[in-house]
Amino acid sequence: METVERVPKYDEAKAGHKWLAYFDLLAWSKFCEKADLSTIFHVYSHLLEQLNNRVAGWHQITRAWASDTFLFYSRDDSPESFQVVDLAARWFIALMLKNEIPIRGALAQGDFYADEDSRLFFGRAFVEAHDFAEKQQWIGLVLTPSAETKAAGIFSPSLYRRWPVLFKGAPEPVVLQVFMLNRLPLSPKGGEIVRALQRMKARTPDKNNKTKYTRTIEFLRASRSRQ
């Protein structure tokens, strides 16, 4: 049996109140079941190359990933750090949808411990972001209650709007601040997001996932009046 060579010790410098954006790839496990390892690897390498090129200039945040999960987090929970994490989150969902990879994300604020060397991540912000990201029954990016409260007066109302979001296992939708995907620059002229979602919807054989795309498209159409 293998043993851990270096058991990590608690480091106060790695803990604190931070902004955390958590992303989950929709239906990634089914993709991995059907695709060969080389195909999966090339999908990862293509995305990570673009990610590394872009975030090199974002010194205020750190990113991490494992399997179908991607994280972006800050050193603190200042307004300036929110702006950068929010920008990174919106850029990342644009990258994924441009490549027609379905994704769900949530941006939270709170206690978070991040040890990059040991790949150890935990805290209230992580739990909240994880739950709100992975249980969304559509394609989207939301501010969790902690983030909405802390970022009041900081996040742009031209980018977000309050909308009832359906979550797995919840009896009723939860009204949250939702990023309006219409703002994503998927083409030089913009406006490609609905067509990208329609193509992804047409490709999936899963009726439940088709419904998730439908909810997102309906949200975008309802949000056109805000443009």
| Cα 68 from Cα 72, distance rounded (Å) | 14
Whole-angstrom Cα Rg for the chain? 18
| Cα 158 from Cα 179, distance rounded (Å) | 9
List C-alpha distances in Å: 215 to 21, 79, 95, 203: 22, 31, 21, 16
pLDDT digits (tens, 9 = 90+) for 61-94: 888 887 778 999 999 999 999 999 999 999 889 8
Q: Residue 43 pLDDT > 90, yes or no?
A: no
- Is 193 within 8 Å of 182 (Cβ atoms)? yes
Superfamily of domain 14-226: Nucleotide cyclase, GGDEF domain (3.30.70.1230)
Q: Residue 184 pLDDT > 90, yes or no?
A: no
Query: Model's pTM, two decimal places?
Result: 0.87
Amino acid of residue 113:
Y
Q: Which secondary-structure segment (H or E) carries 18?
A: strand 15-25
Mean pLDDT, all residues of the chain: 85
